[in-house]
Amino acid sequence: MHIAILTFDGYNELDSLIALGVLNRVRKADWRVSIASPSPRVRSMNGVVIESHIDLEQACSADAVIVGSGIRTREVVADQSLMALLKLDPSRQLLAAQCSGTLVLAKLGLLDGVPACTDSTTKPWVQAAGVDVLDQPLFAKGSIATAGGCLSSAYLAGWLIARSEGVDAAVEALRYVAPVGEKDDYVARAMRNITPYLDRSAAA
């Protein structure tokens, strides 16, 4: 299983890096999580520079893709050459988007007829793209999930793990990162948000 986290200049650290950390709690030889960027290095909205693992073309062949958010997402969706590189396909991939990453999926036409979650800043832009925005942290339909609010990135990562490896694996990963003394409550709340969007085999 290869999961790519699309991370652009101006990225939000809480979106890309929390997802990276939670997803990497799965310890399997064939499990791989990559930061994917259009350039070898990207700088966050707060000046944190990281190196990408793969480019966008490689990301598009991954089994799952998370579109992270940031302060330059409207520049991303306005860049036709960059958007043309994003050949994402929900028939062969799990697709997820965090906050303003939802705008990317909307502009790619992947949310037609599907309501979505995003942050309050991005909400009007997603609505202008013709997508109904929900007032909740996570929503998924089929192989596409969206999340709203920086800390809902853990829910998005949990959904991907549950879809790929089962609920027990998602619970284990979320329990590891949950605050000490609050682990049961945190995991229960997370799974209340995730479980409705799993098929019966994954939720069993």
Q: Is the pLDDT of residue 202 over 90?
A: no
pLDDT, one tens digit per residue, over 29-81 is 999 999 999 999 999 999 999 999 999 999 999 999 999 999 999 999 999 99
In this prediction, residue 201 carries a pLDDT of 47
In this prediction, residue 119 carries a pLDDT of 97
- Contact between residue 56 and residue 84 where contact means Cβ atoms under 8 Å apart: no
Band (199; pLDDT cuts 50, 70, 90): confident
- Contact between residue 115 and residue 123 where contact means Cβ atoms under 8 Å apart: no
User: Taking the model in full, what pTM does it have?
Assistant: 0.94
Alpha carbon distance 165, 159 (integer Å): 10
Q: Is the pLDDT of residue 133 over 70?
A: yes
Alpha carbon distance 14, 130 (integer Å): 27
Q: Percent of the chain scored above 70 by pLDDT?
A: 98
Residues 6+ apart with CB under 8 A from 81: none
State both tokens at 190.
């997370």
pLDDT, one tens digit per residue, over 83-115 is 999 999 999 999 999 999 999 999 999 999 999
Burial 170-188 (b: 16+ CB within 10 A, else e): bbbbbeebbeeeeeeebbe
In this prediction, residue 204 carries a pLDDT of 46
